[in-house]
Amino acid sequence: MHSLNINEIYYSVQGESTYAGLPCIFIRLTWCNLRCTYCDTEYAFYEGKEMTFPEIKDEIKKYDCRLVEITGGEPLVQKRVHNLMTELCDEGYTVLIETSGSLPVRDIDKRVVVIMDLKTPSSAMMHKNRYENLEYLKPTDELKFVIGSEEDYIWARETIKQYQLTDKCRLLFSTVFTSFSPKELVDLILRDHLPVRFQLQMHKYIWDPSIKGV
């Protein structure tokens, strides 16, 4: 029977992406292959328990919600996550996966909405970007840039131009919560008429940023 190492499963409001504001069930998997400077889920690196697919499904059935996000850590570290995503799609859930972009996305079920990072310079993990993943992104997928400085912004702007990403998928810009203000980023986006969606980490404004399970 398939199983995954699960850090937490919880029901909250989606804080990011074009699904922001919608009720959502989050399945957070344990382990990550990156160590971003601004990481806010370090507790997911090692903490977790093994759960079978039926146990995971029983947990999410407690909530009257058909939107599910699989996150981490880095969820693609655990190969069986592909099976879980396919089974949830088969059962009629709208499934999102949030991934760092450091592992292949090619084999993700095409019904799943991929929300993928390209790591900016301030993350210290830019060398882990797999640019070949870009060719597998669908128009319904989302590419996220977390901006911690004007250097990050310039890099992101030039990367969008270099890889002609404007019409590839949805583009998301957000700030590193503690080091770059939303106003600074919005001013730059408007200055350059950049066709991206600015987003806040909504959950960090509703609840204390240090609280888990929201």
Cβ 205 vs Cβ 175: under 8 Å: no
Residues 44-86 have pLDDT tens digits of 889 999 999 999 999 999 999 999 999 999 999 999 999 999 9
Q: Across the chain, where does the E strand assignment appear?
A: 3-13, 23-29, 49-52, 67-71, 94-99, 113-117, 142-147, 170-175, 197-198
Residue 214 has pLDDT above 60, yes or no: no
- Taking phi over 0 as left and psi of -120 to 50 as alpha, with beta for the rest, 31 belongs to left
Domains located in the chain, CATH noted: 3-206 (3.20.20.70)
Q: Is the dihedral of CA 26, 70, 176, 199 positive or negative?
A: negative
Q: What is the largest CA-CA distance in the chain?
A: 54
**What pTM value is reported for the model?**
0.93
- Mean pLDDT, the chain, rounded, equals 93
Encode pLDDT of 107-140 as tens digits: 999 999 999 999 999 999 999 999 999 999 999 9
Helix, strand or coil, per DSSP, at residue 157: helix
The pLDDT assigned to 212 comes to: 64
Which residues touch 131 (CB under 8 Å, ≥6 apart)? Answer: 163
Question: Does the pLDDT at position 169 exceed 80?
Answer: yes
pLDDT for the residue 206: 62
Per-residue pLDDT at 203 exceeds 70: no
pLDDT at 15: 87
Instruction: Express each pLDDT in 51-62 by its tens digit.
Output: 999 999 999 999
How many Å apart are CA 74 and CA 149, to the nearest integer? 24
Sequence-separated (6 or more) residues with CB below 8 Å from residue 89: 95, 109, 111, 112
